[in-house]
Amino acid sequence: MSEGVSIVGGGHAVFGKRKESGLRDLAHEAVRDLFNTTNVSKSDIDATVIGVAGDGFNGQGSPAAVINTELGLHGLPTIRVESACATGTAGIISAYNMIKSGLRDAVLVVGAEKMTSISSGEATELMARAGDLRWEFPFGVSFPGYYALIASAHMAEYGTTREILSSIGVKNHYYASKNKLAHIRKEVSLEEAMGAIDIASPLNLYDCSLISDGAAAVLLTKDSIAKKFTDTPISIKGIGQGTDTMMMAQRESLTELKGAQRAAKEAYAMAGVTAADINLATVHDCFTIAELIAMEDLGFYKKGEAGQAVLDKQTYHDGKIPINVDGGLKAKGHPLGATGVSQAVEIRKQLLGEVESERQVDGAVRGLSHNVGQSGQFVNVLIYERSDL
């Protein structure tokens, strides 16, 4: 059997409305952070994988060529990957496959997005075009609308309440307030969150992720050379992928993502673990309801039981299964192509004990990331493990 693949370094740009920084500057910031914190030089890198989800946000086509050049890595092989909001983990999986096949030894993955050069309305329309252009988009549905349908169905079937959804937003804002890389570093009270302006009923402002600029980077190598770069490589132990129908109307159920269930099953099997063995997770909370159904789809809770766990604060950093203790997409921010890579950077830092003390999950050795494209058309689940302990 071929040898394993590890993450040996991570870097992260500050997420936010980064007026002065373009796509290439954000990518540069993330990779500079990686180079400053990892024992790596350019000549160690065999190839790059660049994840950028949208072309229309800042008008720049061919982002992989632009970013590769900005990084001074032109000449090396590169590819661009795109799987909507699951672009970042699609990049990590592509790099993993390149190394696992023996084609490359060390691959740099960069996920980046510059979303705020256009208005929120324009960004909403651009993202809505990832819905079915024949049967959904013309009728006005956009992403807050898709997840509002999911929230309404979950409320009707399982008695999910406004308080449960708002409690997820409150938690994620709390942790973003402790995360120096987050877009909004402001706590919100439950009252504020419950009473916020409607965006797509039943979802309000504090149920929605942010439209952000940002970038993140990870360096993957084959295990036999990993120690050249760091004393503490983080192994990629499990990978699972799933998909679903393009149109929501074709789904059997609106209260779950079948693609996430499939991806989780595959990742757990590959890693030889179960949900009970995971010490913390970053899940794709593009809307608060998405975090709730992820808790159920990933097997952390039975269907209909995640809501009570939220109210009991079981997903805080010292709870039963810490979830999104970096602030999540909700408040750390959601620059589409960067998100999946940012999740991996966060899990790696958590496993190394390197995050801010107020959000550190003590003694974590195994983490999971769950990255969703659109409303479940792509789902990637990755399991990471610190194997030196």
> Where along the sequence are the contacts to ligand COA (CB under 6 A)?
85, 120, 124, 127, 143-144, 184, 199, 205-206, 208-211, 286, 334
Give the shortest CB-77-to-ligand COA separation in angstroms.
31
Q: 12, 173, 284, 334: which is the annotated catalytic residue?
A: 334
Q: Which is nearer to ligand COA, 114 or 348 (CB)?
A: 114
Give the shortest CB-209-to-ligand COA separation in angstroms.
5
Q: Which is nearer to ligand COA, 120 or 274 (CB)?
A: 120
Give the shortest CB-121-to-ligand COA separation in angstroms.
7
Q: How far is CA 80 from CA 23, 35, 99, 171, in A?
A: 14, 21, 17, 34
- Crossing angle (nearest 10°) for helices 120-128 and 143-158: 70
- Is 74 tagged catalytic? no
The pair of structure tokens assigned to 106 is 């060390």
Sheet holding 5-12, edge to edge: 78-81, 47-51, 106-114, 213-222, 5-12, 234-243, 378-386, 366-373, 280-282
Give the shortest CB-260-to-ligand COA separation in angstroms.
14
Q: What's phi and psi for 50, nearest 5 deg?
A: -115, 125
Single-letter residue type at 14 = V
Q: Which is nearer to ligand COA, 42 or 180 (CB)?
A: 180
- Is 286 tagged catalytic? no
**Which residue, chain included where needed, has tokens 């766990």?**
309
Give the shortest CB-215-to-ligand COA separation in angstroms.
17
Residue nearest to ligand COA (CB): 120
Q: Which is nearer to ligand COA, 4 or 376 (CB)?
A: 376
Whole-angstrom distance, CA of residue 313 vs CA of residue 64: 41
Q: Which is nearer to ligand COA, 28 or 330 (CB)?
A: 330
Whether 294 contacts 301, CB under 8 Å? no
Whether 182 contacts 163, CB under 8 Å? no
**Residue among 30, 75, 13, 29 nearest 48 (CA):** 75
Give the shortest CB-150-to-ligand COA separation in angstroms.
11
Whole-angstrom distance, CA of residue 40 vs CA of residue 258: 40
Q: What's phi and psi for 199, nearest 5 deg?
A: -105, -55
Q: Which is nearer to ligand COA, 118 or 226 (CB)?
A: 118
One DSSP character per residue, 259-311 reads HHHHHHHHHHHHHT--GGG--EEE---SBHHHHHHHHHHTTSS-TTTHHHHHH
Q: 12, 28, 85, 284: which is the annotated catalytic residue?
A: 85
User: Which residues are the active-site residues?
Assistant: 85, 334
